[in-house]
Amino acid sequence: MKIIDVHVHYLPRDAFHKIAEDYPYLKLAVDTDETGRGYFSMMGRKLGPFRAGFFDPKKCVEDAKKRGVDISVISLPLTIPFFYDLDPDVALQLTRQQNDAISSVTERYRANMIGLGSVPLQCSNCAVEELRRCVRELGLGGVQIGSNVRGKNLDENDLRPFFEEANRLHVPVLIHPSGNINAERLKRYFSSHTIGYPTETSLAAASLIFGGVLTRFPNLVVILSHGGGFIPYQIGRLDNAYRTHPETKEKISDPPSKYLKRFYYDTVIYESKALEFLIEMTGSDRILMGSDYPFDMEAEDPVGFVTSLNSVCKQNKDRILSANAEKLFKVES
């Protein structure tokens, strides 16, 4: 059994430096503080800290083995390298460079890494083009997208071609929070991450449900980061709104709870009772083990978190640790 971590962040340093040289106005930079922790920034926004494996694929693999992980599904970090705010043509060139680099590193470490690409969603035609290239030419396992695009929810009509192509190709689309609603109110107490990110994931999921995207594209494979945000735990509220407010029925004919099993969910929720509840609500076949490596909010022992669940049998634990992701990403035994 190969243990698979579906939520691992990696930034290809060489591609990042090349982009910084070619597009100096983006003010891209990589820094290290006196403790050896790393940071990267763009246009004045700084993210970090992170450990060496964030840039070093060998170290990433070594750290994964220490966590008991055989295969890491790597994706770009957060929102900066998505480049959604840039001109579409520029964003397409930058994402192509990054996807080439992700493909190269996963080819080198093919026994231990699967790559997710990124696409410039501010331009649907560009996103479709790059999605096809990621899957057909670069051999990537799918793509990661943000929870919104320039503040637009994921059910907007101009995003339909992307989801239509993802549905046709039947490849995983990992949704990661990008930005925050009312960011000013989330500045204190690290609320941007503890409240803002789950809220972003929740709104993205709700948009796909109520906007009819999941209904329209039955083969669309969507992974929600951070245990699905608040959606699985507030699904009764969504169902009640469906019963009482006509606008929630405009594009769907079933209550929102019927769509819970259309998503996959990672295990980055830290609380065993919450994970047990998520499994009860969606089934063990919809859960994928994740760590959020290498940031300071990563799960310390993601494998142990799953194996220590009291109410889950070994067969279902094995599904979460391995079999579900093996099937999703077509991992050879």
Residues 98-112 pLDDT 10s? 999 999 999 999 999
Residues 188-201 pLDDT 10s? 998 888 998 999 99
- When pLDDT is averaged across residues 5-34 and rounded to a whole number, the result is 85
Domains annotated for the chain, with CATH where assigned, are 4-328 (3.20.20.140)
Which token pair is 39?
A: 């940071």
Q: What is the pTM of this model?
A: 0.94
Angle between helices 88-108 and 124-136 (to 10 degrees): 10
Is the pLDDT assigned to residue 148 strictly greater than 80? yes
Residues sharing a CB contact under 8 Å with residue 250, sequence separation 6 or more, in sequence order: none
Q: How far is CA 30 from the centre of its chain?
A: 22
Q: Which of 25-39, 141-155, 175-189, 211-225 has the lowest mean pLDDT?
A: 25-39
DSSP-derived secondary structure letter, 111? T
Is the pLDDT assigned to residue 85 strictly greater than 70? yes
Strand order of the sheet with strand 45-50? 29-32, 38-42, 45-50
**pLDDT band with cut points at 50, 70 and 90 for residue 83:** confident
Say if residues 176 and 290 touch (Cβ distance below 8 Å).
no
Say if residues 291 and 299 touch (Cβ distance below 8 Å).
yes
Residues 272-315 pLDDT 10s? 999 999 999 999 999 999 999 998 889 989 999 999 999 999 99
- When pLDDT is averaged across residues 44-62 and rounded to a whole number, the result is 84
The pLDDT score that the predictor gives to residue 322 is 98
From residue 203, how far is each of 86, 206, 271, 306 by CA, in Å?
Answer: 23, 5, 22, 27
Percent of the chain scoring above 90 in pLDDT: 75
**pLDDT band with cut points at 50, 70 and 90 for residue 79:** low
Which token pair is 277?
A: 């509840």
The pLDDT score that the predictor gives to residue 186 is 86
Angle between helices 160-169 and 124-136 (to 10 degrees): 20
Say if residues 63 and 51 touch (Cβ distance below 8 Å).
yes
172 vs 7: CA distance, rounded Å: 13
Among candidate residues 105, 95, 94, the one with its CA nearest the CA of residue 55: 105
> Can you list the positions of beta strands (E) in 103-250?
113-117, 142-146, 172-176, 221-224
Q: How far is CA 60 from the centre of its chain?
A: 18
55 or 260, which is more confident: 260
The pLDDT score that the predictor gives to residue 288 is 98
- When pLDDT is averaged across residues 119-144 and rounded to a whole number, the result is 96
